[in-house]
Amino acid sequence: EIVMTQSPATLSVSPGERATLSCRASQSLTSNLAWYQQKPGQAPRLLIYGASTRATGIPAKFSGSGSGTEFTLTISSLQSEDFAVYYCQQYNNWPTFGQGTKLEIK
C-alpha cells in the first residue's frame, strides 16, 4: 500500500494570502496524484488530477505541482469559501488518500 502523508495537519492563513499544502508519497507516483476539497457536511470535490490538471470548473487560483514523491497544492488569493479540508490521493496503485490538511482562517 502506498502511504500518503500530508503536511501540515492544520494551516492558518489570512484571507487574500496564498496557501501552500504538501503531500508526500511513500513511493514514486510519477504524476498519478489528485487533490480534493471537502467542506463540512459535504462530499469531497475533485480539484486537480495528473498532479497539475484542474478538473472541470475549477478556477485557476488552484494549482498543483510536483512529481515522483513530492507534491504541492497552491491556492492563491484565499477567500472565505476556500477554507476547508484538502486531501491528496494517489492512483498509481490501488487508490489511497492522505489524512488531510485543514486550511483555517488566521
What backbone phi and psi angles, to 5 degrees, belong to 59?
-70, 160
d(CA 52, CA 8): 20
What's the closest the beta carbon of residue 88 comes to another protein, in angstroms? 9
d(CA 84, CA 28): 27
As to burial, measured by CB atoms within 10 angstroms (0-12 exposed, 13-18 middle, 19+ buried), residue 17 is: exposed
**From candidates 14, 16, 43, 81, binder to another protein by CB under 8 A:** 43
* Contact flag: residue 9 with another protein (CB under 8 A): no
> How many residues make contact with another protein (CB under 8 A)?
19
Cα-atom radius of gyration of the chain, to the nearest Å? 13
What's the closest the beta carbon of residue 15 comes to another protein, in angstroms? 26
**From candidates 23, 44, 47, 82, binder to another protein by CB under 8 A:** 44
Binding site for another protein (CB under 8 A): 34, 36, 42-46, 49, 55, 87, 89, 91, 94-100
